[in-house]
Amino acid sequence: MQTSFIRKIIFDEKSRALLIQTLVIGLFAVFIYLIAQQTSYNLEKRGISTGFDFLNIAAGYDISIRLIPFSSEDTHLRAYFVGLLNTLMIAVCGCILATILGFLVGIIRLSSNWLFRNIAYVYVEFTRNVPVLLQIILYYSILLNLPKIKQAFVIFDTFYLTNRGLFSPSPIFKEGFSLVFWSFIFAIVFSILLKRFLKKKQEQTGKQYPIFFINSAIIIFTPILFFYIMGMPLEFDSPVLKGFNFKGGMVIRPEFLGMLFGLSIYTAAFISETVRSGIISVSKGQREASQALGLKSSFVMRLIVIPQALRVIIPPLTSQYLNLTKNSSLGIAIGYADLVHGFGGISLNQTGRAIEIMLIVMLTYLSISLTISLFMNIYNKSVQFKGNA
Partner 1 sequence: MSVITQNLSRNKYFNWTVKNLFSSWVNTIMTIIAIIFVYEIGSFFLNWSIFSADFRTNFQGELITDRILCSKNIVPGEYGACWAIIYVRWDQFMYGLYPVEETWRVNLTYALLPFAIIGILFDKLPFRKIFIYFTFIFPFIAYFLLYGGPGLSTVGTNKWGGLLVTLFLGVTGIGLAFPLSILLALGRRSKMPIIKSLCIVFIEFIRGVPLITLLFTANVMLPLFLPDGVNPDNLLRALVAVTLFQSAYMAEAIRGGLQAIPKGHIEAAEALGLTYWQTTRKIILPQALKIAIPPIVNTCIGLFKDTSLVLIIGLFDLLGIGRAALADMTWTKLYYEVYVFISLVFFIFCFGMSRYSLYLEKKLKTDNS
Which amino acid appears at position 321 of this protein?
Y
The least CB distance from residue 110 to partner 1, in Å, is 13
- Indicate which single residue of 67, 192, 370, 374 sits in contact with partner 1 (rule: CB under 8 A): 370
Q: Is 365 in the site for partner 1 (CB under 8 A)?
A: yes
CB of 214 to partner 1, least distance (A): 30
Neighbour count for residue 104 (Cβ, 10 Å): 15
Q: Is 79 in the site for partner 1 (CB under 8 A)?
A: no
238 Cβ neighbours under 8 A, 6+ residues apart: 158, 169, 248, 249
By CB under 8 A, what part of segment 319-348 binds partner 1?
326-327, 329-330, 332-333, 340, 344, 348
What 3-state class would DSSP assign to 32?
helix
Short-list 186, 191, 189, 185, CA closest to 217:
191
Q: Which of 305, 354, 376, 383 is the binder for partner 1 (CB under 8 A)?
A: 354
| b/e map 16-50, b = 16+ CB within 10 Å | eeeeeeeeeeeeeeeeeeeeeeeeeeeeeeeeeee
Cα distance between residue 379 and residue 370, in whole Å: 14
d(CA 121, CA 56): 52
Residues 6+ apart with CB under 8 A from 239: 160, 167, 168, 169, 246, 247, 248, 249, 250, 251
52 lies in the binding site for partner 1 (CB under 8 A): no
Q: 260-319: which residues touch partner 1 (CB under 8 A)?
A: none
Q: Is 377 in the site for partner 1 (CB under 8 A)?
A: no
Q: Does 57 bind partner 1 (CB under 8 A)?
A: no
Q: Does 374 bind partner 1 (CB under 8 A)?
A: no
Q: How far is the CB of 321 from partner 1 (least distance, A)?
A: 13
CA angle 123, 104, 260 (to 5 degrees): 70
Q: Is 134 a residue that touches partner 1 (CB under 8 A)?
A: yes
Residue 128 CB, nearest approach to partner 1 (Å):
8
17 touches partner 1 (CB under 8 A): yes
By CB under 8 A, name the binding residues for partner 1.
17, 20-21, 24-25, 28, 35, 38-39, 42-43, 111-116, 119, 125-126, 128-134, 137-138, 141-142, 145, 326-327, 329-330, 332-333, 340, 344, 348, 354-355, 358, 361-362, 365-366, 369-370
